[in-house]
């Protein structure tokens, strides 16, 4: 944010006013004994706004690299599960007469799109939408004994019918998730410390590439990610083979009527990145074709169907099954990249203009790097999270993304010049 940071008293008063109508931010997660029923959101009787605000300052030279180090440290800290699962960290003394606000929220509370919608609600009133209380109550309702009995009775009939209806879409997803890929240093045990880096691109350059080659913003972003991982593998002495990197790409299943619902509504596809290709334009076209093919064969709906099928089971069995699966090391997926459309309008926090929004997502399940992609105002920002011990070269990913976009932008400019020459 531009300008000096507000005082503690002013910021606390401002934040209290901005969240006064958001019920979920005053609720904590309540779990039943032995997970017999699904967790429910309940009012925190000890809610204290000060518990969710922290204040810190950057060490010299107080630049963006120091801010990235601080974000990495914040990603290491778990939220207090005895209280609502969110926190704001005010960061003072950023160079250029600026300050920063780190907003942390648990993934059970928000996904990418609802997280951005929440941040917009925290910002000063503008022309963006305002959520109503009706849209904020979301998530799975509590499950009573009668519903558990009902699910047990109807399971023998409902499950086979449901399985037959989704088998065609589910099979490719299950195969992609289970089939091992070529060994890679991108997949392996992760420690507790984190690294964080940022890559930036002008939206004008992204749009020029889109228009020149008939692709989408998501295609361009994934092509840049492909170029970055290709350079990283080569730097590490690994061969960028065709089956080297299968990437998890979350896809929002959120409709416009649930934009402000504070829960998680995502599915995913699992394409291979064409890191073996040396030509950036060929890589862009291959990314476009692969993402389109994965979407057309129903992978996003398949994952949603798998979760819907799991809900046919009593919650206790589903919860234990997912936890057990999480303890088995997966070797099929090497990375994660998610693209979230950001606010189109200029935002402000307590009268201070929001200059940039840096996205970040945690790492888990042996994925040593994740990339969150967010468009805001006139920039596309890539927030890269990495395991501290195994990703000391995380800056190579950021540099590789920017270099990949530059290469595509030069090809787009060359194509435009050729077209202009042909018409004169």
Helix (H/G/I), strand (E/B), else coil: 392 = coil
Nearest to 347 by CA among 120, 12, 114: 120
| 108 token code pair | 């059970």
107 is an active site residue: yes
Residue found by looking up tokens 């699904």 in the block: 38
List 107, 128, 377, 403, catalytic entry: 107
Q: For residues 17 and 423, what is the distance between their CA atoms, to the nearest angstrom?
A: 59
Q: Which helix (H) or strand (E) holds 289?
A: helix 280-296
In SS3 terms, 13-47 reads as: HHHHHHCCCCHHHHEEEECCHHHCCCCEEEECCCC
Of the candidates 348, 376, 407, 301, the residue with the CA atom closest to the CA atom of residue 116 = 376
Closest Cα to residue 355, out of 99, 127, 120?
99
Name the β-bridge partners of 266. Answer: 252
CA distance 270 to 300: 10
DSSP-based three-state secondary structure for 251: strand
**Is 177 within 8 Å of 270 (Cβ atoms)?**
yes
Exposed (0-12), middle (13-18) or buried (19+): which is 325, by Cβ within 10 Å? exposed
How many helices (H) and strands (E) the chain has is answered by: 11, 13
Residue 338, strand partner residues: 372
**CA 6 to chain CA mean position, Å:** 29
User: Rounded to whole angstroms, how far apart are CA atoms 97 and 1?
Assistant: 9
| Catalytic sites, residue numbers | 107
């Amino acid at each position: 944010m531009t300008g000096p940071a507000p005082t503690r008293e002013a910021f606390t008063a401002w934040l209290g006013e901005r969240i006064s109508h958001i019920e979920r931010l005053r609720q904590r997660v309540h779990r039943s004994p032995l997970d017999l029923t699904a967790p429910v959101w309940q009012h925190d009787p000890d809610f204290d706004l000060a518990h969710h605000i922290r204040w810190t300052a950057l060490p010299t030279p107080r630049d963006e690299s120091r801010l990235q180090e601080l974000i990495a440290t914040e990603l290491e800290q778990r939220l207090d599960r005895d209280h609502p699962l969110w926190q704001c960290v005010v960061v003072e003394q950023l160079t250029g007469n600026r300050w920063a606000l780190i907003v942390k929220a648990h993934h059970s509370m928000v996904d990418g799109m609802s997280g951005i919608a929440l941040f917009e609600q925290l910002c000063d009133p503008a022309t963006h939408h305002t959520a109503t209380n009706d849209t904020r109550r979301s998530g799975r309702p509590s499950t009573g004994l009668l519903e558990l009995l009902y699910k047990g009775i109807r399971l023998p009939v409902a499950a086979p019918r449901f399985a037959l209806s989704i088998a065609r879409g589910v099979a490719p997803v299950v195969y992609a998730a289970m089939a091992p890929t070529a060994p890679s240093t991108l997949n392996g045990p992760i420690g507790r410390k984190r690294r964080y880096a940022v890559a930036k691109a002008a939206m004008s350059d992204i749009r020029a590439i889109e228009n020149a080659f008939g692709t989408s913003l998501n295609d361009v972003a994934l092509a840049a990610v492909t170029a970055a991982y290709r350079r990283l593998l080569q730097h590490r002495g690994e061969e960028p083979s065709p089956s080297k990197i299968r990437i998890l790409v979350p896809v929002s299943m959120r409709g416009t009527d649930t934009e402000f619902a504070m829960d998680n509504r995502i599915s995913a596809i699992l394409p291979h990145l064409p890191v073996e290709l040396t030509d950036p334009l060929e890589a862009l076209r291959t990314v476009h074709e692969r993402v389109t093919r994965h979407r057309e064969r129903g992978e996003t709906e398949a994952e949603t169907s798998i979760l819907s099928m799991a809900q046919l089971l009593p919650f206790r069995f589903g919860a234990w099954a997912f936890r057990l699966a999480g303890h088995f090391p997966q070797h099929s997926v090497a990375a994660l990249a998610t693209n979230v459309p950001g606010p189109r309008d200029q935002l402000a926090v307590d009268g201070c203009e929001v200059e940039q929004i840096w996205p970040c997502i945690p790492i888990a399940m042996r994925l040593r790097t994740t990339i969150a992609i967010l468009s805001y105002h006139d920039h596309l920002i890539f927030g890269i999270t990495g395991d501290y011990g195994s990703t000391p070269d995380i800056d190579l990913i950021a540099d590789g993304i920017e270099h990949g976009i530059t290469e595509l932008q030069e090809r787009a400019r060359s194509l435009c010049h050729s077209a202009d020459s042909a018409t004169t």
